[in-house]
Amino acid sequence: MQKILEKIKAYDTIIIHGHKRPDGDCYGSQFGLKDVIQTSFPHKKVYVVGERSGFVDFVGQMDVIEDTTYQGALSIVVDTAVQDRISDPRYVLGKEVIKIDHHIPVDDYGDYRWVDTSFPSCAQMIAHFYDTFKDELNISQAGAIAMYTGIVTDTGRFRFRGVSELTHQMAGMLIRKGVDVEYIDSKLSIETLDMISLKGYVYSNFVTAKGFVYLKMTRDIIQKYNVTDEQAASVVGLIGGIEGFPVWALFIEYPNEIRIRLRSNGPTIDKLANKYEGGGHAKASGARLNSWDDLPKFIADVEEVIEKYLEV
Ligand SMILES: [Mn+2]
């Protein structure tokens, strides 16, 4: 953190990058850091670049800059573990690159790195950075709103493991800086009519097996409800946590395959996912089928996993 502060002080132009398809934490970290630097050092030129994400637009607007802006500039990449996923590959044009992230490191990119997986959000790292050097740094209400948004989105609104005493301390500090909790919640809670309709479909059409709940998200449904593949895939949580059904899955139909989002609050399911060309975490994995013909076998395999788990 000390080194990063030194570097921020040393450069006149600082360009902040995030990841492709940015989420709330990515925006929160990017715009939060921009605010801290810009508010503390008003003479510096600070830019945020990368893909835009509509649902967190209220946090800030991306800057559009020329390649020449990178001459002699410092690039800072936040919330991104893999080099390939950095949005706007021009970060390499900067004179030096700093990585700030909370994911398990994949690529050791950057001249300087601050990576700490104990933080449940990257925005909390930025808030902690500000707080550590608060005698020489400033922050505005807009920056506080950005960071708070990052913290609440990446922690599922303070519900996920990883939320710590420090998380709440930082949230409290940001509230003191002017965050309106209800304003942010209302911005994040807005849903399209199409998504609400799709949710209605999911609740009415899930299928149950032995301890297993699933839904077939076919192309015609995705089209009918006018949602993106990503939105369609996001509803997997709706069929989770049902009493007596420790495993659930969403099968999403693509032109040449069926992608599976597999979840559990009972048995570990990553081994099963491995068997179907997937993997991930013990209780949240991805996998795939070649066609719907393979579905009965997959269901039988899930039921076997659940049966073994219940025997123990
Ligand atoms: Mn994050």
Each of the 312 residues of the chain gets a pLDDT tens digit; together they read 999 999 999 999 999 999 998 999 999 999 999 999 999 999 999 999 999 998 899 999 999 999 999 999 999 999 999 999 999 999 999 999 999 999 988 888 999 999 999 999 999 999 999 999 999 999 999 999 999 999 999 999 999 889 999 999 999 999 999 999 999 999 999 999 999 999 999 999 999 999 999 999 999 999 999 999 989 999 999 999 999 999 999 999 999 999 999 999 999 999 999 999 998 788 889 999 999 999 999 999 999 999 999 997
Tell me if 111 sits within 8 A of 100, measured CB to CB: no
Task: Please give the distance, rounded to the nearest whole angstrom, from the Cα atom of residue 151 to the centre of ligand 1.
Answer: 8
Task: Please give the distance, rounded to the nearest whole angstrom, from the Cα atom of residue 102 to the centre of ligand 1.
Answer: 7
Residue range 193-311, CATH number? 3.10.310.30
Task: Please give the distance, rounded to the nearest whole angstrom, from the Cα atom of residue 239 to the centre of ligand 1.
Answer: 24
Task: Please give the distance, rounded to the nearest whole angstrom, from the Cα atom of residue 279 to the centre of ligand 1.
Answer: 20
| Closest to 10 in 3D by CA, of 114, 110, 94, 101 | 94
Task: Please give the distance, rounded to the nearest whole angstrom, from the Cα atom of residue 121 to the centre of ligand 1.
Answer: 5
Task: Please give the distance, rounded to the nearest whole angstrom, from the Cα atom of residue 79 to the centre of ligand 1.
Answer: 5
Q: Which one of 3.40.50.1000, 3.90.1640.10, 3.40.50.620, 3.40.50.12780 gives the CATH number of domain 2-189?
A: 3.90.1640.10
Please give the model's pTM, rounded to 2 decimal places.
0.84
- Per-residue pLDDT, 226: 96
- Per-residue pLDDT, 17: 98
- Per-residue pLDDT, 281: 80
* Residue range 70-104, pLDDT digits in tens: 999 999 999 999 999 999 999 999 999 999 999 98
Task: Please give the distance, rounded to the nearest whole angstrom, from the Cα atom of residue 21 to the centre of ligand 1.
Answer: 12
Task: Please give the distance, rounded to the nearest whole angstrom, from the Cα atom of residue 278 to the centre of ligand 1.
Answer: 22
| Closest to 306 in 3D by CA, of 278, 272, 281, 260 | 272
| Letter string b/e over residues 214-237, b meaning 16 or more CB atoms within 10 A of that residue's CB | bbbbeeebbeebebeeebbbebbe
Q: Tell me, what DSSP letter sits at residue 86?
A: B
* Residue range 12-68, pLDDT digits in tens: 999 999 999 899 999 999 999 999 999 999 999 999 999 999 889 999 999 999 999
Alpha-carbon distance of 64 to 198, in angstroms, equals 35
**Per-chain residues with Cβ under 5 A from ion ligand 1:** 25, 79, 122, 154
- Residue 279 has phi, psi (to 5 degrees) of 160, -170
Tokens matching residue 96: 């030096």
Task: Please give the distance, rounded to the nearest whole angstrom, from the Cα atom of residue 223 to the centre of ligand 1.
Answer: 30
- Residue 210 has phi, psi (to 5 degrees) of -75, 100
Task: Please give the distance, rounded to the nearest whole angstrom, from the Cα atom of residue 245 to the centre of ligand 1.
Answer: 30
Q: For residue 66, with 0-12 CB atoms within 10 Å meaning exposed, 13-18 middle and 19 or more buried, which class applies?
A: exposed
- Per-residue pLDDT, 312: 76
Which is it for strands 112-115 and 207-208: parallel, antiparallel or unpaired? unpaired
Task: Please give the distance, rounded to the nearest whole angstrom, from the Cα atom of residue 17 to the centre of ligand 1.
Answer: 13
- Per-residue pLDDT, 230: 86
Task: Please give the distance, rounded to the nearest whole angstrom, from the Cα atom of residue 231 to the centre of ligand 1.
Answer: 19
Task: Please give the distance, rounded to the nearest whole angstrom, from the Cα atom of residue 29 to the centre of ligand 1.
Answer: 8
Task: Please give the distance, rounded to the nearest whole angstrom, from the Cα atom of residue 26 to the centre of ligand 1.
Answer: 6
| Letter string b/e over residues 151-181, b meaning 16 or more CB atoms within 10 A of that residue's CB | bbbbbeeeeeeebeeebeebbebbeebebee
- CATH 3.90.1640.10 residue ranges in the chain? 2-189
